Structure 1
């Protein structure tokens, strides 16, 4: 980005926080232009009506200067405003070394503060700012502000002696900003802010400091704005005491995530399919078993007895059931409508699956009604919430679980709702199903093979891997365990979450990848088959609810 904008003010940089006219000028001139070039700003496609400086926090720098953490509010023609974190630094000497490491995309504009001219930059590109963050976290500093305080908390993952480390900004553009320290720690600065602490910080801090769970990047610390109790400006962010601004974790050396690793294993499997050879290497099962155990150990760590209400186990209450049922029923209604509208765009195999799914609507409705009243003694806990192969890093001989922010499309409040840990298990099972289906149905090696044959081969691989993962997972807990009353409840709850996950996936595939629609549809049919088994075993076969129409899945053969 080439700087073309400039601004002049009589206010000095060191006293800028107390000049509201200056911030009003910045939010009307330089900042909107800059923010709209940033990957992390999610409002670019919306009709913007203006920006305002809701809060300006001051952070002292090592050399005696200051940086500011601006809470920037973006307003729109429709919908509620959004709040973003924009740290700002002023580099007065444009010819010195300080600007060397500031890329064009970090330079906001030329500004004269008082009698000093220089460049206003995104502070993440200023080494002084990065060091100030590390120092504050290391020493558990509390920095008072005009609106509350900035609280820096040090976690057990930040080691003694690591208070001064060489830092850099990672070049990857994403919805947050990432900095590394000594290639040993990773600091994520959250850009879009919410009214409460980020669930990722809560989870990682609990797992590191309370449960001592080793298979995550250890919690190094956090940056939190504890707002004042008063709410003079009406800012949405001031309605809650704590707003998470950043989190530090240990860096983890890894080769790839588990999605890529599974893809490598599937390449070996794929090569044998055209020759009608079915082979899975033994080390594939070993890796799947290990991931199953690590997942079980994660949930045991989250089940750890605690006085913290945010992590204490809870039963399946009526309120929780109603929450889940309403979300599921709304989701089903939208997916049925989407499927009907796009039915003619699907290939023949997907159409057969879609027809069976739609014919099974009454059976699914009955299953949901059963969930509303069925006695359940299993417990709910905080879970990962967005668990799949891409959230697991493969190290040389183990796995490290990452990204505890929860479901991206859910509110922060909903991401903190406690579920059965089988919801995470369902996410991983669906991920394995996607891995094998995507590989077999989208590879040149299988283009000429009969789709029904490919489906059978895909199913065999998936069922073996699913059962291997699930058996290893449940072995961690033993029986009985408070999280799972018995196998009957395990099977029932797993079907609830598997069905919800597959129905959710269906919407994305219809809208963006119609050729992949058969993957979630097959997952749905597999679940409905199991629902039918429960109906038969319970003796609850209502005369008005038809059985699964599996005959529709058969193709006409010559």
Structure 2
């Protein structure tokens, strides 16, 4: 429903002349965009004091030439400046819907920027994703690989192998998916048939090609890995002096039941219901699914391992001094922040979390020594492009297999950092930590187990997790094969896995302290598992000369024990 109470714009120009209508552009910047963007789920700057909204660039996307009333949408590149910190750029496509047309157009209130009048024609300026003419134009341009010249560069539309010739012609129907996220999702299909294509429109823009487009297009067009939604095309803003900026990517739709986090939660129900009766129950189907995911993860990494690639972005690299220093410094900074958070929030933690926190803090010297070992230890394993934010929520479960999604990388990392090559064990560590979260959250957060002592729940969850972790790892390593250039030997593999597991668990710790103190024990237990393994490595090395004290495991014992 359109809200006619929104303050209108009034212009003597037609909508088609928006680019030269400086007065209307100014009104949009000062009176419309600040309130509109702050109401959008995808705008990330709500919590920052804002100085200015500026329409930095305006691109034209003409509607289909066979449209009865020739019209156009505009891609606004909105620059948001803040009182502190760097400015951000956002993509906002807009179109004008006249009053007579609006009566037959389904536009939600959240899609309306303002009521407006252009050249005596009344209507509304809306987010163009809610205008079928815009959605059709984007699809048409990708299908036909159009290049649209603009005042600032070009909008270049790429077509991918996932967009089949026969399916790219004829009538297309489209809609906006009703999900609130950091991007917008459009879907396309054919009348009377299943929806076939999914277009992700990126809202926050970066001065780089989006890593997701690079990875998905590479896997689709340079490998036989089929467990992703195939790359069907993309929308790029190209300028002469800077890298291409990704505006959107289209992929094939996939049938799925749910993500693997939800499916794993379902599988854990049998286990959960058995725990109060002191029974240990895991269905064989659970092991089969975990084993399959281990194989699919390895196949993903084998597809991304491309030593003969002519593209430097996908050529394997060694563990350079520069990379090690980057990881070490980032991790050391992360550690210091987490130690400070634990000290400041110690009294908010439950007794089990307090004991785990003490052992973690007492192990600081051992962890520092481990980081220094990573800095200097000879390593012959290789680094490649990886998923980068790999966990159960990024894997869709189909009837009998898995589909991997969301290759954008870690949300809190810069776009450049998301493209850094890592050992594929970083992805493996992310999935292992996700399984640990799945069982811990189930046991510690369910009414069925609320009367069971936390220490007992910790032991029970650890047994489940160890079995699942080993099943996943064995399937992964069997599929990768040995020897493989990605992993020099088992010693290096185990060492690097500990590096990424520790980094991941310490990263998780900050979120739990800030938002879910009752869950702090989950990443702390993950940290504890790693530092126990670190100590085993230290004790097994006859040449190690270190004054670092051993772990104070007695601190983990409760008073009752």
Same fold (TM over 0.5): yes
Equivalent in the alignment of 2:550: 547
8 Å CA contact 1:217–1:249 kept in 2: the answer is yes
1:124 Cα deviation from its structure 2 partner: 0.6
Rate the CA distance shift 1:217–1:493 in 2: closer, same or farther, 3 A: same
RMSD of the TM alignment (CA)?
1.4
Distance in structure 2 (CA, Å) of the matches to 1:140 and 1:500: 42
8 Å CA contact 1:349–1:518 kept in 2: the answer is yes
Rate the CA distance shift 1:192–1:403 in 2: closer, same or farther, 3 A: same
8 Å CA contact 1:6–1:30 kept in 2: the answer is no
Equivalent in the alignment of 1:233: none
Deviations 1:163-201 (A, max 9, x none): 441000111122111110011111111111111111111
Distance in structure 2 (CA, Å) of the matches to 1:102 and 1:228: 37
1:449 Cα deviation from its structure 2 partner: 1.8
Equivalent in the alignment of 1:232: none
| Structure 2 counterparts to residues 203-282 of structure 1, below 5 A | 203-229=215-241, 240-282=242-284
Pick the aligned partner of 1:170 from 171, 177, 190: 177
Secondary structure of the structure 1 residue equivalent to 2:34: helix
Which moved further from structure 2: 34-43 or 83-92? 34-43
Deviations 1:485-540 (A, max 9, x none): 11111000000000000011111111111111111111111000110111122225
Deviations 1:246-286 (A, max 9, x none): 01011111111111111111110111111111121111100
Deviations 1:422-448 (A, max 9, x none): 000000000000111111112111122
Distance in structure 2 (CA, Å) of the matches to 1:345 and 1:542: 38
| Structure 2 counterparts to residues 459-498 of structure 1, below 5 A | 459-498=462-501
Pick the aligned partner of 1:180 from 182, 187, 190: 187
Equivalent in the alignment of 2:142: 137
| Structure 2 counterparts to residues 442-521 of structure 1, below 5 A | 442-521=445-524
Secondary structure of the structure 1 residue equivalent to 2:416: helix
Distance in structure 1 (CA, Å) of the matches to 2:546 and 2:162: 60
Gaps of 5+ in 1: 230-239
Distance in structure 2 (CA, Å) of the matches to 1:188 and 1:543: 52
Pick the aligned partner of 1:283 from 259, 282, 285: 285
Gaps of 5+ in 2: 190-194
Rate the CA distance shift 1:553–1:542 in 2: closer, same or farther, 3 A: farther
Pick the aligned partner of 1:307 from 301, 306, 310: 310
Tell me the TM-score normalized by structure 1: 0.96
Distance in structure 2 (CA, Å) of the matches to 1:415 and 1:316: 17
Which moved further from structure 2: 9-18 or 405-414? 9-18
Pick the aligned partner of 1:23 from 17, 22, 25: 25
Distance in structure 2 (CA, Å) of the matches to 1:99 and 1:191: 27
Q: How many residues were matched structurally?
A: 547
| Structure 2 counterparts to residues 432-443 of structure 1, below 5 A | 432-443=435-446
8 Å CA contact 2:9–2:24 kept in 1: the answer is no
Tell me the TM-score normalized by structure 2: 0.95
Which moved further from structure 2: 480-489 or 163-172? 163-172
Rate the CA distance shift 1:37–1:345 in 2: closer, same or farther, 3 A: closer
Distance in structure 2 (CA, Å) of the matches to 1:437 and 1:28: 49
Equivalent in the alignment of 2:112: 107
Distance in structure 2 (CA, Å) of the matches to 1:96 and 1:2: 15
Equivalent in the alignment of 1:426: 429
Counterpart check, 1:158 vs 2:163 = yes
Equivalent in the alignment of 2:83: 77
Distance in structure 2 (CA, Å) of the matches to 1:411 and 1:110: 37
